[in-house]
Structure 1
Amino acid sequence: MRNNFTILREKDLRTCVKVFLAASFVLVFVFFDRVHRAEAATLYFSPATGSYTVGKSFPVSVIVSSPDRAMNAAAGVVLFPKDKLEVASISKTGSIMSLWVQEPSFSNAAGTVNLEGIVLNPGFTGAVGKVLIINFRAKQAGTAAISFSSGSVLANDGNGTNILNGLGTATFTLSSEIYQAGAPDAPRVTSPTHPDHDIWYSNNNPQFEWPLASDIAGVNILTDRNQSTNPGTNSDGLFSSYNYKNIEDGSWFFHIRLKNGIGWGDVAHFGFNVDTEKPEHFEIQETWRESLANPKVSFTFDAKDKTSGIDHYEVQLDDEKSNIWKDDGTHVYTVTVKNPGKHELVAKAVDRAGNFLASIADFSVEALEAPKITEYPHELKSGETLIVKGTTYPNIEVLVWLQRGKEDPIVETVRSGGDGTFTFVASKRPENGIYMLWAQAVDSGGAKSNPSEKVTISVEQSAFFQLGSWLIAFLTILISLIALIILIIIMLWYASHKLSQFKERLKREVKGTEKDIHKAFDVLREGIRVQVKLLEKAKTARQLTEEEEKVIKRLKRDLDQAEQFVENKIEALEKEVE
């Protein structure tokens, strides 16, 4: 009974182990398959379907899709039915390839197109990367299928890992419809909103314009994801521009055909790309550091944009100016901080249409132990050499900062010895003043310490220079006083000289005025005497009235008084001038 039970338990145990191992294998397979698929790339054709007329040409693009991992090389052999199609030309316009291992070539006899190109670092990451344009010409009605007989897409990882996971196919319907001679040519389409078909735009309201000749009677338009769709023969009206509203994200093609009195003309196809959504995922993770004091910090950038793909990153450290970084395929961004402490890294993952998603990573850089200043002079005479000693890590660079008052500090570099001691000898002898000195250690990897404690050093002039300065100051004051006294003497002499000149001039003017007054008074006196004589003469002829007698007496008296007054004033003026 025990043996049967034991045997049963052993069988159950084996069964459980087998189930566990099988489940583990399935989980591992699924995990790696998902990882593989997440980093997979594909080669495909655009458009993958279409209808074309025999005798007409149409373009087919070879596209590489690698949205999650940077690729740097692609190669492939395209097969096409040589009885139904022939290659008219090959175009590299708009290709993501920077170099070609061999120029793209084709053989209409074999029905093959060969391509092999390289994308320079940082490679290409995105959903739509144009490799090549093959311009086919329809030869015979029927169905034409094109495919890849082989292909490869190599990752930009330094190892040339082939990440190709799928090869696309395309099928085209070729008809024998014949366009009537004289029908309109395919119109030349332009777009003021989406002018370049290789660029992604965040505007989802595309506008298209085309010229209309006077004989055009109808316009037929259609927009879809097929590169070469024929919009048909139903007129939508007569107009020379059209504006779509709220187009969904993705790659699109605008098709237009014109009609005149003869019939419908050739179809024009205009490609455009729309991406209005920001990247759906962006996460920043700091990578492992052996030393947390290492100022070189690396981060992995994990960003996804399903439509146009990530184009670049805008990265800013703390308050520094932001810079543009393109992923080299490693998804690793490294920054070097200037000083230890807490820091913030802000990055924007920007897709090819300019939409972005921001992410922030906070991190810290630890500081080395600060140096210690062990010997320094508290006081120093001007002209003496400044020597400071300290300790820190062995064989390390030490930055010594010296600041006088509020001036900008100067920095000099010394190295510590094997025992960690260092000696700083100032390259210039400090002048008098109050100085602050401190030190900072920097190892070979750029890790820094916090500044050491600051020490104060007073620098004064020597006694000889102090005496010299006192003598200079004394002599400066003495010379200044002597110069002031001499200046005052010169000014007094000049004033006296000018006063003497003024007195002489005044004397001359007074004497001249005296003469003029005498002359004027003589004339006045003579006139009055004439009048008096006339009155006295009249007295002999007749008896003067009493009033006339008074007038004569008054004139004589006033004349004598006026003469005496003038004489007194002139005499007083002459005394004042003296």
Structure 2
Amino acid sequence: MLIFSFSLGQPVRATGASFSIFPQGGTFTTGSTFEISVFVNTGGSNVNAIQVDLKFDPDKLQVITPTKGISVIGKWIFPPSFSNTKGIINLQGGFLQEGINTSEGLVTVIVFEAISPGRTEIRFLDSSQVLVGEKEGINILTSVNRGIYDIIPAPSKGPRIFSETHPDQNSWYKNNNPTFSWERIEGAEGFSYKLDDDPLGEPDNTIDTPTNFISFEEVEDGILYFHLKAKKEKIWGGTSHYKVMIDSSPPLKFQPYLEPLTLTPGNYLLVYFETTDLLSGIDHYKARLADLSDPQDVVFSAWARQESPFRLSKDRKGIFEFQVRAFDEAGNFQEGKIQIKIVNPLLILASGGIQIKGMFFPWWQVYFLAGMILLLTAFFIFSLIKRKRESLRIRLYKEIKEAEKEIEDVKEAEEKLRRLRIMEEQAGKEWRRLKERLEEETE
């Protein structure tokens, strides 16, 4: 749902709004361009945002530009987009300040090219919206119309042009070496031609070739137009146009994957794949499964059309490689692959990650978790070593203090012993002196 918030200057009146296409009909020739205008009627309400989603037949019409000229849109929420492969145009815009109140506001002018004969229509999709309200975003769209147009073959103004390399003007080709030929014109002096991206381009008034054949090499990818006119009796005739659509580049590179952090119930794996093509668009995918369990006897299944996701049974133990090719409208393809090792239904190893009990984890998450475990383990070991060292330091400190005290005690004892010895010597000397005095007195 589109939500675009702006402040409102007055209360919201949720009355009916409408989208309309003008003109609603017309007849156009193949190769010509025409314009349609898209209008909005807000039904008396102040509108804050609109979403216009249009559908057209890409086999009969192609968008040249989705926006031309002025518009009541104050700001495009997303850049206007379109797909000439899917036949969809998407416009999302908002209005500043109090919004817009209009009975005939021009949203956009779209330029189409008519590419093949037949009746075709341009209509609004159900996802189109007209929103009011600063926060609630109420959709007040109640009515839309549609345009119906007739495409008729264009009368040839110049020589009829053919191409052996690009025979269908509405198909994409990967061959970027187009060749062109044209009907012979009796009495023609020569022909002037030009190859460019302008649908209505004109060659100059210079004879480029007297023959009715020309080839080009390695032209650029895209939608190109070959323009041709003949000179007869010194007068240049009308110009013929021939469209070629060339896409020589493969789709963008991609890799199949298992959906991360999703629980896959059942006894199968879901392998997803998707890519885009910048020019002609993706046409289809083809896939096959290679059993690599025995390198000497690799078994391949046949290529078959496949939509995403691919289901692989978990009961098939072994090593497998899922290969998928994305083909664009021109036939170019890009291949992606993923290798899967089924150890048992509860443990799956893939080139993109690991699946345990149906829960898939990408390798980066596994590596991140392993790194966190290693980091926590290292922190725990470091803390343990630190505590051990601190405990050892404290114990050694205590033992050193105790040893120092014992040394002090020994020193004190030695000092006491030294004093006792001195006292003993003094007592001995005194005794000998007394003894000598007694002996003298006795004599």
Common fold: TM-score over 0.5? no
Please state which structure has a larger fraction of its residues in helix: 1
TM-score (norm 1): 0.34
With normalisation by structure 2, the TM-score equals 0.43
**1 or 2 for the larger relative contact order (CA 8 Å, sep ≥6)?**
2
Q: Which has the larger radius of gyration?
A: 1
